[in-house]
Structure 1
């Protein structure tokens, strides 16, 4: 007696990269592409999470495909593709996600869609320091906005500063990102850069016009958050060479 196929056979095949099985299941019943599993994921979320481009293309070609469909996890835990993430958000978070990103942009995915924490795809790109994908989003029609803050009051530039991505910071500033905005902890991008010891990024922020007299919620200036004297000295000397006042 043959085993009955799994209720979520398409999800499993999309996750495991079994292109032939995905094609067969879709041919037999296209509506399977719209079926959510027990954690509210669609097959497109699985295919994207695991980087299976051919399968993602098949799923995106289905009649009712929604490029902005969000994962709405029933479970309390937050996973890689959970917490209201769209396929585009998952794609931009992959190191090799360029072609998946292009696929969803062609399908007119909303580049400024927010997850349940208020973050957009650009927030995730800034964290991953992927300049190529950041440029794709910022050059999309309509373009991603660098002026969207999440529920913690952070813009993408806060994340770029925290990971020490000077090129990303400069790209976001060029695209009209707020420079001196404070998050819920009262910290500006400069606070984040200094606190994480990213001297180069801190200097780039200063050159762009970052304010040095803003205090966070605990009353600390950005320079007071430097992890050691070496970081403070580097920033001070670099600022002096650039003719910047701290």
Structure 2
């Protein structure tokens, strides 16, 4: 006895999530339009395949005639964004595949974030490089006014910070809280990142919305002392 239609409605999404390639293929052969079915999370099967890093299923879905590499879910996430946000650069191959299908790295979510914002947040240096090579911008602000470099400073990644600076990211841009990347780096205790920002031209006299200088955001004297001493060695005055 066949299961009710409601139980089978999202079968392709479940198969894509679970990595069952043959099931996805069989479902598509039976009904090619299933790749356009939106589930309760407003996602297509391709979104779930990317979220769980099932490369074979991504390849299968990306080879359909009607494949749209820039399709967005209910939050505005594209498959590229999802793959870019997987931990430890694990989505790199999927990212490259989607870009080969002309996925657009400049698209933004409902919160204004790009694939680059997400890759930076997860510390995915290699994916950041790939996205920038394919036209991603280091100068796009999300709706909180944050550039990818704000996120690099907050997560404490010097390599990504340097990469973004090389790609013309503003160093002294402020977000909606008036915080510069330097404010974020120091607030999170990333003294080494703060020093790199100072070397890149970060301004020390900018105040956030609460009137605080970046150095005043240091969580403890150890972080503050490290920054002050390192700045002195670089010939940068903080006073």
Q: For the superposition of Structure 1 and Structure 2, which TM-score range results when normalised by the shorter chain?
A: over 0.9
Task: Show the 5 A alignment for 1:115-154.
Answer: 115-140=109-134, 143-154=135-146
CA deviation after TM superposition for structure 1 residue 38, in Å = 2.0
| Cα distance in 2, alignment partners of residues 2 and 128 from structure 1 | 43
Task: Show the 5 A alignment for 1:56-95.
Answer: 56-72=58-74, 83-95=75-87
CA deviation after TM superposition for structure 1 residue 4, in Å = 4.7
Match of 2:52 among 45, 50, 53: 50
| Cα distance in 1, alignment partners of residues 187 and 42 from structure 2 | 38
In the superposition, the TM-score normalised over structure 2's length comes to 0.96
Cα deviation digits, residues 171-193 of structure 1 (max 9, x gap): 10010001101100000000000
| Cα distance in 2, alignment partners of residues 56 and 122 from structure 1 | 20
| Cα distance in 2, alignment partners of residues 48 and 137 from structure 1 | 16
Matched, 1:112 2:106: yes
Q: State the SS of the aligned residue for 1:159.
A: helix
> Corresponding residue for 1:8?
10
Q: State the SS of the aligned residue for 1:70.
A: coil
Q: State the SS of the aligned residue for 2:232.
A: helix
> Corresponding residue for 2:233?
241
| Cα distance in 1, alignment partners of residues 41 and 126 from structure 2 | 31
Match of 2:37 among 31, 35, 38: 35
CA deviation after TM superposition for structure 1 residue 27, in Å = 1.0
Match of 2:161 among 158, 161, 169: 169
Q: State the SS of the aligned residue for 1:65.
A: coil
Match of 2:97 among 91, 99, 103: 103
CA deviation after TM superposition for structure 1 residue 2, in Å = 3.7
| Cα distance in 1, alignment partners of residues 93 and 234 from structure 2 | 40
In the superposition, the TM-score normalised over structure 1's length comes to 0.93
Runs of 4+, deviation exceeding 4 Å:
none
Cα deviation digits, residues 15-61 of structure 1 (max 9, x gap): 11111111111111110001111221100011111111100111011
Cα deviation digits, residues 121-160 of structure 1 (max 9, x gap): 11111111111000001111xx110000000000000000
Higher helix share: 2
Match of 1:223 among 215, 220, 228: 215
